[in-house]
Chain A
């Protein structure tokens, strides 16, 4: 083989270039810490790396979702705890009220505390985490329970988020599954949730009577009502012979006021007679409890000033038949009660007194079920006010059932929290694993790279030394 000078130069240059190139690559790997620095370094691995990165990013997103779910569930959990302690207190009060030795006045006092707990339950239902009402549906910016009517006023959609591929979790607990319900027909008072606040008293005048619909004591449950309904309040003949109503208000019997009712008077005439009587301490009203099509006019007599309706006493002197005519207006808190206190009218609860009735313990009658904490508490409150031991007993049952449901829901929340914890741990593990794969594929083995680089440097060094020595001389150097 003939060897020429350029062959040496070329070989030297190409070898040096190769060495420098591999040192350059090693240098890049050391400075970036990665062995794959561009797709062409290893296209398949690169594709895997993109896949891993996508997965890691998705896991990061799922972890975020899990964390926000956790905070929601923690809020639900503490709400449940609060609700639970409120219900425990309600039950205590119910038991206290059920004791035979508790007198009616004390029961009224107890009912006041029950009322406060009712408000607490409503507050809990309207708990907000961040900007969201956790017991609302998609309308998360609106409080789920109307604090006046106790009605569930939002939608019942479950707000779901994904916490892993294919797994989702609902973050809210619409209040209709625990606290209250949405009325089928908001205009229909018969399915009101908290009746005292719920009567349809508007401020307009009654077109038939020309009177304001709102009675002086706006709470019809505490006013006296004529339990029998009249289809036409202006029709004459409510009373046949007329007579005298002797009305007193309060236990100390303020001066009795006599109201003389003419014979053949209509309900409207009676109202006017009462209202026009000087010195009278009550105010009478006619309210249509029915509809325009099927009117249901009732006389409502409330104390004026308000607040003492339950202490009104009406003694009737008439020759009308017993239990008919004017006699229907007799009322004595301790005696005859031909008129009723409005709060006695809790028929909407569909209260079943017959213990043998299969529906006695059913909560499905008229929404009195375990999903309706507010009504259950309210039922107790009214029962206490009414001093009705039978209903108080039933209320205790209801509250028990409701508390059970709350326990159940709380257990569910706890289970969900556990699930989230487990899912979070799983995502952490997966993230770790994928990071490991990523590192295996992507990260340079620095020790190995450095040792390779040192090796290359040694080769380069000797190449330089030898080549420069060799290339420097030729035969010409020896010609003299």
Chain B
């Protein structure tokens, strides 16, 4: 090695230390940038200088790489957990909204409206002649109906909101996917583009918060992004995601794969979209169904009793609530009558369906025989969605039981989560030979719950006609009967308040558990974030120390050059004197 070797070594030292200082500056500058991964220069001494008998001398220093201080496993874990956190975050927000609708901690909850309604009947029972009590009853019934329909409307609006939010999230997914594809191409072209990788990681993290995705990297460093196996980004290519609602107002997500448009509802397993899906299609829907069941059962039962009573104006047969169901009877005057509708399993009830029940005395395919009694009666249940094509429900899935010990006889038919009670003596049914009952529901029953009576006189508090010798305006038996319904299992096998209570309780449990999950998840994410920061984060103290280190090294390298200069000067001066 010649005398200029020192220059060379000094030069590499100057350049490399400068590069190191640049990296420190970049780190300091990005110490607060989200998603930024600390970079570090890896220095290496350049070997193979002079080889002498006592050893070799080096040729200086060089940078082998600028490293991203990055833990791939931690990043993956963090991505997954952030996706979960985002799910719980959105879910919790959703259920808290539902919870607020059913907030019974205040003194104006729906339960108060329900008990007030029955109390108002009690008041009428105490004072059946009083107009004030009757008017109050109608007002209380209107208030209760409006609370229930209000709650239902709020839930319905909630579903619409969720759909809108899903739409904008899907737009965001598409835009993020496009950005990832763009970065994929860039990264493939420039392999050392560390900061682009940081940006891409950040985008994937964001995407994960919206919808849980899996990624894998190809040999040129491009990411493929998949939603449960369905590609969203494939290298530089993106597939468009979309969301729509079907005729039953259920939300569906699709990815357009060119070869097919694939429905991916079942592949969405995390992130805000999953929360939206769960809230909209499971959680809110189940509460809406329960409100529907409440509205239908309550109005059916109250109406059933109310029709049998008499008002002050001697009127009878009036409905108290608006009919949320329609019941037809092919021969209303004879045979049987539909005396009860109850829901045995709300989760399988489909209010959009119509049912048709008929009986005859000879049986046939799809009919089953009624137990007991002197004569045979055969029952059949059919269902339809449009009212024109009817399919017979398999008798095995229709539970028929009868009771001949009461007057009149009755039998119950249980199918599709619905229980229908038909009153009528067997002998009358046999005489009628055949009869058909049609049953259909308002699929938004709770929304349309309202009182049908406006005239206080028509409130049927009496059991017999007041103009009858044995009756009178003081007859309160029917009012007492209806007031007592608060203690009867009239709503899906439960008493009204208990039915409502279990609903509130379920909403509460859901909200409470989602809050706990949310807290747990956010602690977990914080912890992981901390661990990532431990690896990838910028410590200003550390950078300051490094700054001093490289500054000193830079200063020393400069000194080396000046020393080499002096050495040369010495040599040149010596030659010049000759």
A-side residues, CB < 8 A to B, are 1-7, 10-11, 14, 34, 36-44, 46-47, 49-51, 53-54, 57-58, 60-61, 64-65, 68, 131-132, 136-142, 154-155, 157, 159-162, 165, 172, 442, 474-476, 478-479
The yes or no answer to B474 lying at the interface (CB within 8 A) is yes
Are B472 and A4 neighbours in the complex by a CB distance under 8 Å? no
Q: DSSP class of B's interface residues: helix, strand, loop or mixed? A: helix
Contact A39:B99 (CB < 8 A) given known A7-B530, A138-B475, A161-B476: yes
Are B105 and A476 neighbours in the complex by a CB distance under 8 Å? no
Question: A46 is contacted by which of B32, B487, B508 (Cβ under 8 Å)?
Answer: B508
A residues less than 8 Å from B125 (CB atoms)? 161-162
Contact A47:B544 (CB < 8 A) given known A138-B466, A155-B469: no
Contact A51:B501 (CB < 8 A) given known A39-B102, A40-B99, A40-B508: yes
Q: Distance (Å) between the CB of A199 and the closest chain B CB?
A: 24
B residues less than 8 Å from A131 (CB atoms)? 129-130
Q: Distance (Å) between the CB of B576 and the closest chain A CB?
A: 43
Measured CA separation A141–B484 after assembly (Å): 25
The yes or no answer to B111 lying at the interface (CB within 8 A) is yes
Are B533 and A7 neighbours in the complex by a CB distance under 8 Å? yes
Are A46 and B537 neighbours in the complex by a CB distance under 8 Å? no
Question: A61 is contacted by which of B122, B469, B471, B533 (Cβ under 8 Å)?
Answer: B122
Residue of A nearest to B38 (CB): A4
Are A139 and B473 neighbours in the complex by a CB distance under 8 Å? yes
The 7 sampled A-B contact pairs (Cβ below 8 Å) are: A4-B534, A10-B533, A14-B526, A139-B466, A155-B472, A160-B480, A476-B544
A residues less than 8 Å from B100 (CB atoms)? 38
Residue of B nearest to A35 (CB): B105
Measured CA separation A457–B529 after assembly (Å): 27
What range describes how many residues of B lie at the interface? 35 or more
B residues less than 8 Å from A54 (CB atoms)? 111, 115, 497
Are B511 and A141 neighbours in the complex by a CB distance under 8 Å? no
A residues less than 8 Å from B486 (CB atoms)? 58
Contact A46:B474 (CB < 8 A) given known A2-B539, A54-B115: no
Question: A50 is contacted by which of B32, B104, B464, B534 (Cβ under 8 Å)?
Answer: B104
Q: Distance (Å) between the CB of B553 and the closest chain A CB?
A: 15
A14, A37, A139, A474, most chain B CB atoms within 10 A:
A139
Measured CA separation A120–B473 after assembly (Å): 26
B residues less than 8 Å from A142 (CB atoms)? 472
Question: A1 is contacted by which of B119, B534, B547 (Cβ under 8 Å)?
Answer: B534
Contact pattern, B 226-269, Cβ under 8 Å of A = 1, otherwise 0: 00000000000000000000000000000000000000000000
Are B474 and A50 neighbours in the complex by a CB distance under 8 Å? no
Are A61 and B119 neighbours in the complex by a CB distance under 8 Å? yes
Contact pattern, B 491-518, Cβ under 8 Å of A = 1, otherwise 0: 0000001001110111111111001000
Measured CA separation A440–B304 after assembly (Å): 40
B residues less than 8 Å from A154 (CB atoms)? 472
Are A138 and B31 neighbours in the complex by a CB distance under 8 Å? no
Are B511 and A39 neighbours in the complex by a CB distance under 8 Å? yes
Q: Distance (Å) between the CB of B126 and the closest chain A CB?
A: 5
Contact A138:B471 (CB < 8 A) given known A1-B534, A5-B539, A6-B31: yes
Q: Distance (Å) between the CB of A294 and the closest chain B CB?
A: 29
Contact pattern, B 512-542, Cβ under 8 Å of A = 1, otherwise 0: 1001000000000010011001110111111
Question: B515 is contacted by which of A11, A40, A136 (Cβ under 8 Å)?
Answer: A40
Residue of A nearest to B538 (CB): A4
Question: B512 is contacted by which of A2, A42, A172 (Cβ under 8 Å)?
Answer: A42
Are B103 and A68 neighbours in the complex by a CB distance under 8 Å? no
Q: Distance (Å) between the CB of A57 and the closest chain B CB?
A: 4
A60, A138, A155, A159, most chain B CB atoms within 10 A:
A138
Q: Distance (Å) between the CB of B572 and the closest chain A CB?
A: 38
Contact pattern, B 80-117, Cβ under 8 Å of A = 1, otherwise 0: 00000000000000011001101111000101100110
B residues less than 8 Å from A39 (CB atoms)? 99, 102-105, 504-505, 507-508, 511-512
Are B505 and A44 neighbours in the complex by a CB distance under 8 Å? yes
The yes or no answer to B61 lying at the interface (CB within 8 A) is no
Residue of A nearest to B547 (CB): A479
Residue of B nearest to A133 (CB): B474
Measured CA separation A2–B464 after assembly (Å): 87
Contact A10:B540 (CB < 8 A) given known A39-B104, A47-B508: no
B residues less than 8 Å from A141 (CB atoms)? 129, 472-474
The yes or no answer to B470 lying at the interface (CB within 8 A) is yes
Contact A474:B544 (CB < 8 A) given known A4-B533, A54-B497, A162-B125: yes
Are A10 and B530 neighbours in the complex by a CB distance under 8 Å? yes
B residues less than 8 Å from A160 (CB atoms)? 476, 480
A residues less than 8 Å from B505 (CB atoms)? 39, 43-44, 46-47
Known: A4-B537, A38-B99, A155-B471. 14 other contacts (CB 8 A): A10-B533, A34-B105, A39-B504, A40-B99, A46-B105, A46-B505, A47-B504, A53-B109, A65-B126, A138-B464, A138-B472, A138-B474, A154-B472, A475-B544
